[in-house]
């Protein structure tokens, strides 16, 4: 039985049942794409030479069936036989896309495999890259960095190293993040330092309306100061989905502060911050 690959031309499927050395296509599929109207596929390929046609066992919904096929020369003959405008488009597509792919990989897939998602480099490499970037930035600016930017970079490096040390000790792939860190690093949100949607309100929003996501606290660097913050198990898909929903609702609300006051979130002020 021949190997089966399926590809599509203008929303019509064509089954490829050959190999890179001997390409073959299901004849009825080719005739359908080229709009060759005959009483039967056998009539359409009757004038082809023996080396331009053949047959192959193909797996279908009804089970394995023997089907008429055309080889590469037979495919060209059918293309030239069609008088429809679609023939020129089909020919170009076969020459420029399908055949090169078959020559290269041995098949042509309707659903080509997606490239794998690249993992982040090891922590040591990321820290080294950060240090080199900071040196370059210092050379360009003469060491005159925005104090807030410098502090944010220092906090990032310290927390990155702390996470690495903790994972090295406990041998886990767990990922505990503060809600602001999750919003910015995982969702690409920019959480402002002030205004109606500032970061303090975001943390309170999650703790008030989504307490089931957890109440774990860890000491982290925030603006250069070691402070306790609420962190969440972002390695847990349920928690990550809950945080995502909470953050989207927070930014969609016209006045989250008013909603929090109505919910009594500010009745007793918490000393723990968010990050």
Query: Per-residue pLDDT for the chain (275 aa), expressed as one digit of tens each?
Result: 456 778 788 888 888 887 777 888 888 888 888 888 766 788 888 888 898 998 888 877 777 888 899 998 888 888 887 778 888 898 888 888 887 777 766 554 444 444 444 455 666 676 677 667 667 666 666 666 666 566 666 666 666 666 666 555 444 567 888 898 899 888 888 888 888 898 889 999 999 999 999 989 887 756 556 678 899 999 888 999 999 999 999 999 999 999 999 998 887 554 455 55
Task: Look at residues 55, 78, 105 and tell me which one is the last residue of a structural domain.
Answer: 105
Write the DSSP string, 79-94.
HHH--STHHHHHHHHI
Q: Is residue 224 in a domain?
A: yes
Neighbouring-strand partners of residue 229: 218, 273
d(CA 206, CA 171): 29
Residues 92 and 165 in one domain: no
Residues 53 and 127 in one domain: no
Q: Is residue 268 in a domain?
A: no
- Report pLDDT for 170: 47
Question: Per the structure block, which two tokens stand in for 95?
Answer: 């020459």
Residues 24 and 130 in one domain: no
Q: Is residue 70 in a domain?
A: yes
- Report pLDDT for 64: 80
Residues 131 and 247 in one domain: yes
Residues of the domain holding 65: 5-105
Judge contact between 164 and 123, C-beta under 8 A.
Answer: yes
Q: Is residue 271 in a domain?
A: no
- The domain tally of the chain equals 2
Q: Is residue 267 in a domain?
A: no
Residues 154 and 257 in one domain: yes
Helix (H) or strand (E) holding 70: strand 63-71
Q: Is residue 114 in a domain?
A: no
Residues 38 and 89 in one domain: yes
Q: Is residue 112 in a domain?
A: no
Cα end-to-end distance, the chain, whole Å: 60
d(CA 98, CA 24): 12
Write the DSSP string, 210-225.
-GGG---EEEEEETTE
Residues 153 and 214 in one domain: yes
Residues 168 and 87 in one domain: no
Residues 100 and 127 in one domain: no
Residues 81 and 201 in one domain: no
Residues 76 and 196 in one domain: no
Judge contact between 216 and 166, C-beta under 8 A.
Answer: no
- Report pLDDT for 181: 86
Q: Is residue 186 in a domain?
A: yes
For residue 157, which phi and psi values (nearest 5 degrees)?
-65, -45
Residues 148 and 220 in one domain: yes
Task: Look at residues 105, 134, 158 and tell me which one is the last residue of a structural domain.
Answer: 105
Task: Look at residues 105, 132, 147 and tell me which one is the last residue of a structural domain.
Answer: 105
């Amino acid at each position: 039985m021949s190997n089966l690959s399926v590809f599509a031309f203008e929303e019509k499927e064509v089954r490829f049942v050959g190999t890179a050395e001997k390409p073959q296509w299901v004849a009825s599929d080719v005739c359908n794409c080229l709009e060759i109207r005959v009483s039967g596929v056998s009539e359409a390929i009757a004038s082809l030479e023996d080396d331009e046609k053949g047959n192959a066992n193909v797996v279908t919904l009804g089970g394995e069936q023997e089907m008429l096929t055309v080889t590469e020369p037979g495919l060209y003959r059918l293309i030239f036989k069609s008088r429809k405008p679609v023939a020129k488009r089909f020919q170009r597509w076969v020459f420029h896309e399908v055949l090169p792919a078959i020559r290269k990989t041995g098949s042509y897939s309707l659903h080509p495999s997606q490239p794998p998602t690249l993992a982040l480099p090891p922590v040591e490499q990321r820290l080294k890259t950060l240090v080199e970037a900071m040196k370059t930035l210092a050379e360009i600016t003469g060491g005159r960095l925005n104090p807030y930017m410098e502090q944010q970079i220092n906090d990032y490096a310290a927390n990155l190293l702390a996470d690495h040390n903790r994972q090295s000790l406990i041998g886990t792939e767990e990922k505990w993040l503060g809600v602001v860190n999750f919003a910015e690093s995982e969702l690409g949100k920019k959480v402002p330092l002030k205004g109606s949607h500032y970061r303090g309100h975001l943390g309170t929003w999650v703790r008030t309306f989504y307490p089931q996501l957890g109440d774990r606290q860890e000491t982290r660097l925030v603006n250069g100061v070691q402070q306790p913050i609420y962190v969440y198990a972002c390695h847990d898909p349920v928690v990550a989905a809950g945080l995502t929903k909470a953050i989207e609702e927070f930014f969609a609300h016209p006045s989250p502060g008013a909603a929090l006051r109505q919910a009594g979130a500010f009745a007793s002020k918490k000393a723990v911050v968010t990050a």
